[in-house]
Amino acid sequence: MTGYQDLRDWLNTLTKNDKLAVVDRPINKNTELAPLVRLQYRGLPEEKRKGFLFNNVRGEGGIKYDMRVATGIYASSREMYALSLDCEPTIESIDKRWVEAQLHPLEPRLVESGPAQEVVITREEMEKTGKGLNILPVPVEIPGFSGNIRTSVPFMTKDPKSGWVNVGTYSAHMVGKTKMQWEIERHNHGWAHYTTAKEIGKDLDCAVVIGGPPVLFYVGSAKLPFGVNELTIAGGLVEAPLDVVKCKTVNLEVPATSEVIIEGKVSLGPLEAGNSYGEYNGYMAHDVRMRPVVNVTAITFRKDPIFVHVMSQMPPSESSKVRTVSSDNIYYKFLKYDCKVPGILDVAWHEISQASWCVIRMKKINNTHPWQALHLAAGYDAWWGKFFIAVDDDIDARDVESVIWALSWRVQPKRDTEVIGGRFAGLDPSAYKPDASHEEKLMPNVTGASAILIDATRKWPYTPVSLPRKEYMENALKIWRELKFPELSLRQPWYGYELGFWPQESREDADFVVKGDFESVGKRLAARTVNKP
Amino acid sequence: MTGYQDLRDWLNTLTKNDKLAVVDRPINKNTELAPLVRLQYRGLPEEKRKGFLFNNVRGEGGIKYDMRVATGIYASSREMYALSLDCEPTIESIDKRWVEAQLHPLEPRLVESGPAQEVVITREEMEKTGKGLNILPVPVEIPGFSGNIRTSVPFMTKDPKSGWVNVGTYSAHMVGKTKMQWEIERHNHGWAHYTTAKEIGKDLDCAVVIGGPPVLFYVGSAKLPFGVNELTIAGGLVEAPLDVVKCKTVNLEVPATSEVIIEGKVSLGPLEAGNSYGEYNGYMAHDVRMRPVVNVTAITFRKDPIFVHVMSQMPPSESSKVRTVSSDNIYYKFLKYDCKVPGILDVAWHEISQASWCVIRMKKINNTHPWQALHLAAGYDAWWGKFFIAVDDDIDARDVESVIWALSWRVQPKRDTEVIGGRFAGLDPSAYKPDASHEEKLMPNVTGASAILIDATRKWPYTPVSLPRKEYMENALKIWRELKFPELSLRQPWYGYELGFWPQESREDADFVVKGDFESVGKRLAARTVNKP
C-alpha cells in the first residue's frame, strides 16, 4: 500500500506537509465557503494552493451543522496529487503509476465492517425525524448562479445483469430530504446500468461515496473504457486492494473508511427536469434535460463525519487537475500500449482547456508519424479534444510557452493543419445556441462539431536553437551560484543544441569567434562565395 | 521630459530600484558574459529580472578591456521598460504613451556638443595604432554557435535625396579593425537609403549608436511605417525632443549623451558573404546572404565608456520585450486610429512567439466585426504574424491561459478559422528547407508562406461564467484577508458574470439555493415541463 485508504490519515499528511488550511471561524456554506476557496485557484500559483478544512459550518440564519466540511483536499495541486499516491511529485512518477495501474488492476477486498457505517440513518428514521439530506452541509458551488446543491463525488452502480461495477463522478442533486436527481449523460457508463435496470424492470441500486480515499475520486473522474471496474484501477494506483464493505440497504460494496455514504435506488419512474449548475468548461450548464430520480434508502457515516466537497467548474480547480492527470495517462497508454505507436513520449491535456487542448510529444520517425498519432488521439473519443497538437521531443508539452514556440516556427497552417468534423458537441457552447434542442446540442448541423489537428513538428533539419551550447550554460550556472544570484527554475530549452543542419564552416566560424578572433572570420567571409542576394 | 536621455542617469535609477546587478569579478566576454545573463531569461520570472553591469571584462588570454559592459538594461521586464519612460508599469500607461507618441511625434533638438564625443579616434589613428573595433568588448552572443560578434543596437542612416532619417536595429558585424558588415534585409527601411546611395553613386553615411537612451532602442526595433523618423517617435515617447550632436566624420546627428558612436560609410563596392548568428525566433540564422561592407571612419565615446550589449535571440529576452511592446501599440494604433475599426481594446503579440501569435481583444458589434480586424491585422505587414486570434472583451489577451480558454470554448474550427497564403517566409524555418535558395526563403512555393485567422469570440449569447457572482467573491476576499492567507494575484475572470443568456427561472432557482432552500427548488423542478431527453 503506497497511498491512502483512510481520509483521516490523508488529512494528517496534508497537515504535516503544510497543505491544509484549517478555518475555525464561522463560514456560511451557501454564500462564503466556495467563494473563499475559489480565490486560491484564481489568485495563487499552483504550488501555494492547499486543502481547506472548515470546523464551524453555518447555514441560513446562522444554524450550525454537526458535520465539518473539507474541500480542495484531493488535488489542489499536482504535488498534492502525488502526495496522495505517496510518489514523487514529478510528472514521470505519476505517469508511471497510472500506466502500471491500467496494465495491472487490483480487485478490491471485502471486509466485515468499517468506520463508514459507524452511524446508520434509515429512510424510515429520516421520514420520522425530518432529518435526511438536510443534515449534510452541502456547499452552494456558484452562489448567484447555481440552481441547486449537489454532490460531485463518486457515484457507484452495478450492472444488474453482468455485475460490472462502475464508479463515475456523476452529480447527485438534492431536491428533497430523501430525494436526489441523478445528473447523467446518455453516453456515461452509469446510463448503461440504468438501461439494464429498465430491461429487467427493477430500480437500480446506487451509492454516493463522500470522503472516500483520494484515489477513488481520481478513477471516478477518469475516461476509462467501457467495462472497466474503476475500483480495480484505484487499487492499482495505490498498489494494494481497496477495502470495501457491503452497503446496508443496497447491493453494492463501498470503501470501508468513507466519511459518508448515501445509499439509494434510482427510480424507473418519471424523470424530472434539471436546472443550472457550473460546468468544467467555465460556463454555467443550462442543462434542463430530464434526469432520473434517486430515492434515498439510508445515510451512513463515521463518528464526527467530515463532509467532502470537490472544487470544480472554472479551471484550474481540483477536478480539472484530476481530470487532466487521468486524461494524460489514458491517452498516453492508449497511443503507446494499445495502438503501439512508436516514439510517444508524453500526452498533455492543458488544464485551462480541460477537454480541448491536447499536446502529444513524440520522437518523430517520419512526416506521416505525427498524423498517425493525431488521428488516433482524435478517434479515441468523439467528446474529447478540439486542438490536437503534435510536437517534437525537444518541446515541453506541458509548458504552454514551449508549445506556442513550436506553433510559431514549426507550423505552416496551409500544410500542417487539418480540420475534422464528426465530433459530439457536448458541453461546448460554441457549437450550438443556448436554447437549441437536445439533438442539436449533441450533434449540431447534423454532422457534429469540429476539431483541428496541428502537426507542429519540424518537417526537415533545422539550424541549432539560438542559445549558447550546453558547456557554456553549465559554466554560467556555476558563476551564477557563486555570485549568489536568485534561485533559478530553468525552462526547456535553456541551452542550444543542433537540429540536423549545421555546416562545417559554421562550426569553424564559431570556434574562431569564441577565441576572440573575429578578424580571421572576416577574412574567411571575404573569401567565401555564396549565391547573390 | 519624462524619461531618460543620459544612460548614466538611467543606470542610477536602475540601481535605486534594485534592478541592476553589478558584477566585479572577471568575466570573459566570449564564453561567460552572455550565458550568465541568459540564465535569468530562462530561469527567473519576469519581475525578478535585472540589468547587468560588468566592471571587469576580459577576453582571450585574460586581457582586460578598458570599457565596461552593460546588458539587459533596456527592457529585461515590462517594469523596467515603464521605468525608463517614467510611467506606471501598467500595460495601459505604456500603451497610452506609445499611441500619443505616434499621434504627436517631436523633432530632435541639435546641440553644440555632448559627452558622446569626449574622446574621438579617427580612422587614421586606428590604422596607425592598430586599435579600432577591437577596443570594444563586444560579447559573443551564443558561444558555440555564433559565427561573429556584432552590435545589435540602433543603426542610423539618412536618405541622401530626401533627408529622411532612419533608426533601425540592424546588426553591424565586426569583420576587421575598421570594417563591419551591415546585416540588412531587403525590405528594411535602411536598404531604401542604400538604394538611393547607389542611384547617386556615393557611399552611404551611417552611425551605430551604442549606449544611447533606452527609448532610441525601443523605436529602432519598432515596425514603424516607411518615411517616419524614429527620433521623432522617441521624442514623443519621453515627451521631450531628443538632444543630438553632429557626427565628426559623417553627415548624421546622433544622441548627444551616447556612450559610444561608430561612424562609417556603407561602401557601394562588392558585397560580402554573411554567416550565422542567433535570431529572435529561437534558432540560429544561417543567413549567408551578401551584405554591404561598412568602412569605419571614426569611433567616438565618453570618458570611462560603458559598452551596451542587447540580449536578443531565444525569447523572452530584452529585445523580445521591446519588440512586443512596440508591435502591440503599432497594430493597436493602426486598427483603431488609421483603420478606425470600432471596439478595438487591446492587441497583444505574445513574447515567446515574437512575430507569430497576435491576439486582438475587442468589443464585438456583430459577427463580421472580428473578421474585419483579423484581415486588417494580417494585411498590415506580410512578414508579421502567423496566428491572428480575435477575442471578446472579457478575455485577457495578454494571459495565454485566458486565450486558450477562449480558443477552447468559443471556436468551431470548421466555421471560425481561415487559412491565408501570400505571406513572406522571412525567418520562418518551417517554410523552407535550410539550404533553400534566397528566392525560396522569401516566397516559398511561389505564393509564399501561410497564416491562420481565428475568430475566438462568442457567436451568440452564452450562459454565465461558472464562478460565484461578484458580490460573493468580493466578500470572500474580505474573509481571505481577515484570515491572513497568502497574497493573491487574481486572474481574469475571478468572478462570474452574465453573457446574454440567463432565463428568469434560473435566476429564481439561484435565489432559493443561496438561502439554503433546496427543497423549494426540488418542488419547482418536479413541476417544470421541458423537452424530453
Q: Per residue in A314-357, pLDDT tens?
A: 999 999 999 999 999 999 999 999 999 999 999 999 999 988 99
Q: Which residue among B402, B475, B485 places its CB closest to the CB of A35?
A: B475
ipTM of this complex prediction, to 2 decimal places: 0.94
- The number of helices, as runs of H, and strands, as runs of E, in chain B is 16, 27
Whole-prediction pTM: 0.94
Cβ B276–A506 below 8 Å, yes or no?
Answer: yes
Banded model confidence at residue A530, pLDDT cuts 50, 70, 90: low
Share of chain A above pLDDT 70, in %: 99
Q: Determine, for residues A174 and B273 on separate chains, whether the beta-carbon distance falls below 8 Å.
A: no
Place A402 in a pLDDT band, splitting at 50, 70 and 90.
very high
**Cβ <8 Å between B400 and A404:** yes
Which of B421, B459, B533 lies nearest to residue A289, judging by beta carbons? B533
Query: Does pLDDT of B428 surpass 80?
Result: yes
Residues 6+ apart with CB under 8 A from A164: A158, A193, A227, A229
Measured in angstroms, the CA of B458 and the nearest CA of chain A are apart by: 7
Chain B CB contacts of A44 under 8 Å are: 486, 488-489
- The three-point CA angle B182-B102-B94 to 5° equals 95
Instruction: Tell whether the model's pLDDT for residue B515 goes beyond 50.
Output: yes
**Given this structure, which CATH class describes domain A339-456?**
alpha beta
CB contact under 8 A, A452 and B27: no
Map B320-385 to HEC letters: HHHHHHHHHHHHHHHHHHHCCCCCEEEEEECHHHCCCEEEEEECCCCCCHHHHHHHHHHHHCCCCC
Task: Look over chain A and give the mean of its residue pLDDT values, rounded to a whole number.
Answer: 95
Longest dimension (CA), chain A: 101
The confidence score (pLDDT) of residue A533 equals: 47
Q: What are the residue boundaries of the structural domains of chain B, listed by start?
A: 90-309, 339-456, 470-528
Pick from B282, B290, B433: which is nearest to A530 by CB?
Answer: B290
Q: For residue A143, which residues of chain B lie inside 8 Å, CB to CB?
A: 468-469, 472, 510, 514
Surface-to-core class of residue B489, CB atoms within 10 Å of its CB (0-12 exposed, 13-18 middle, 19+ buried)? exposed
Shortest Cα distance from A233 to chain B (angstroms)? 30
pLDDT in tens, A296-318: 999 999 999 999 999 999 999 99
Residues of B in contact with A174 (CB under 8 A): 518, 522
Q: What is the pLDDT confidence band of residue B463, given thresholds at 50, 70 and 90?
A: very high
Within 8 A of B289 by CB-CB distance, chain A residues are 530, 533
Residue in chain A nearest B459 by alpha carbon: A430
**CA A122, A126, A128: angle at the middle one, nearest 5?**
115
| Residues of chain A found within 8 Å of residue B496, distances taken between Cβ atoms | 142, 144-145, 284
Q: What is the mean pLDDT of residues B312-321?
A: 94
Nearest to B230 by CA among B172, B171, B170: B170
Task: Give mean pLDDT, residues A526-532.
Answer: 71
CATH T-level topology, domain A90-309: Pnp Oxidase; Chain A (2.30.110)
Nearest-CA distance B110 → chain A (Å): 36
- pLDDT at residue A287, as a whole number: 72
The answer to whether residue A33 scores a pLDDT higher than 90 is yes
* Cα dihedral value A148, A152, A158, A160, nearest 10: 20
Contact A491 B42 (CB under 8 A): yes
Residue of B412, B465, B478, B512 to mutate, interface with A, max A Cβ within 10 Å: B412
Categorize the per-residue pLDDT at B1 as very low, low, confident or very high, splitting at 50, 70 and 90.
Answer: low
Chain B nearest CA to A272, separation (Å): 6
Query: Does the beta-carbon distance from A466 to B145 stay under 8 Å?
Result: yes
Alpha-carbon distance of A220 to A25, in angstroms, equals 33
Residue-wise pLDDT tens digits, B368-387: 999 999 999 999 999 999 99
A219 by Cβ neighbours in 10 Å (0-12 / 13-18 / 19+) ranks as: buried
Kind and range of the H or E run holding B156: strand B155-158
Task: Give tens-digit pLDDT for A440-461.
Answer: 888 999 999 999 999 999 999 9
The pLDDT mean for chain B works out to 95
Q: What is the pLDDT of residue B287?
A: 72
Instruction: Choose the closest CB to A409 out of B283, B437, B525.
Output: B283
Nearest CA in chain B to A469: B144
For CA atoms B121, B123, B129, B133, the dihedral sign is: positive
Using 50, 70 and 90 to split pLDDT, how confident is the model at B324?
Answer: very high
Residue A20 pLDDT more than 90? yes
| Contact between chains at A438 and B533 (C-beta distance less than 8 A) | yes
Q: How confident is the model at residue B4 (pLDDT cuts 50, 70, 90)?
A: confident
Q: Do A451 and B522 touch (CB under 8 A)?
A: no
Cβ contact (<8 Å) for B513 and A469? no
- Residues in B closer than 8 angstroms to A39, CB to CB, are 473, 476-477, 480, 485, 488, 490, 494
Q: Do A409 and B417 touch (CB under 8 A)?
A: no
Does the beta-carbon distance from A526 to B272 stay under 8 Å? yes
Distance from CA of A411 to the nearest CA of B (A): 6
Q: Return the H-helix or E-strand segment holding B277.
A: strand B277-278
Q: Among A35, A357, A506, whose Cβ lies nearest the Cβ of B275?
A: A506
- Provide the pLDDT confidence category of residue B530 given band limits of 50, 70 and 90: low
Q: Determine the residue of chain B that is closest to A387 in CA distance.
A: B408
Q: Which among A35, A283, A532 has CB closest to B476?
A: A35
Rounded to whole angstroms, how far apart are CA atoms B77 and B30? Answer: 25
Sheet containing A109-110: which strands, arranged edge to edge? Answer: A109-110, A243-246, A253-255
H or E element that contains B451: strand B449-455
Maximum CA pair distance of chain B? 101
Predicted pLDDT at B533: 47
